[in-house]
């Protein structure tokens, strides 16, 4: 869930800066496709709306860790915004986490008892 939407965003109009960054890093379009690199746009509800249009419920997105929610948050919003997205796969090829690079800092999100947890890593 989410990976295909991130890939489409990278190839779309909002992904221009991200594609330019990848080109400067000499990561070819073929490598981008092979590694399923994507882009999370800066919109607070971009992924939520894209997945909802495909029939994915908000609760499923929250459980997958793609949306931020809480008692003090009236409307859940996208966890990942304005980042390159790197899906992390298990041995069977299923996406189990995302690494997201914001050009200045990197965040790895992985499943831990049903939710994603974050850890900051050095810049990409």
CA distance 34 to 14: 21
CA distances from 82 to 14, 24, 38, 59, 112 (A): 10, 18, 11, 23, 24
Q: How confident is the model at residue 116 (pLDDT cuts 50, 70, 90)?
A: very low
- Judged by DSSP in three states, 77 sits in strand
Decide if pLDDT at 106 tops 80. no
Give the residues across from 69 on adjacent strands: none
Q: What is the pTM of this model?
A: 0.73
pLDDT (tens digit per residue) in 46-66: 889 988 998 999 998 888 888
The separation between CA 74 and the C-alpha centre of its own chain, rounded to angstroms, equals 22
Check: CB of residue 84 under 8 Å from CB of residue 124.
Answer: yes
pLDDT at residue number 5? 85
| pLDDT above 50 for 2 | yes
Summarised one tens digit per residue, pLDDT across range 8-36 is 999 999 899 999 999 998 999 999 999 99
Residue 122 or residue 18, greater confidence: 18
């Amino acid at each position: 869930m989410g990976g295909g939407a991130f890939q489409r965003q990278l190839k779309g109009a909002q992904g221009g800066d991200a594609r330019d960054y990848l080109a400067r890093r000499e990561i070819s379009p073929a490598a981008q496709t092979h590694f399923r690199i994507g882009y999370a746009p800066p919109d607070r509800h971009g992924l939520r709306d894209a997945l909802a249009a495909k029939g994915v419920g908000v609760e499923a997105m929250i459980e997958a860790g793609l949306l931020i929610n809480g008692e003090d948050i009236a409307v859940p919003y996208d966890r990942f915004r304005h980042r390159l997205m790197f899906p992390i796969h298990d041995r069977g090829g299923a996406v189990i986490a995302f690494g997201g690079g914001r050009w200045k800092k990197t965040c790895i999100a992985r499943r831990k008892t049903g939710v994603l947890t974050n850890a900051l890593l050095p810049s990409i």
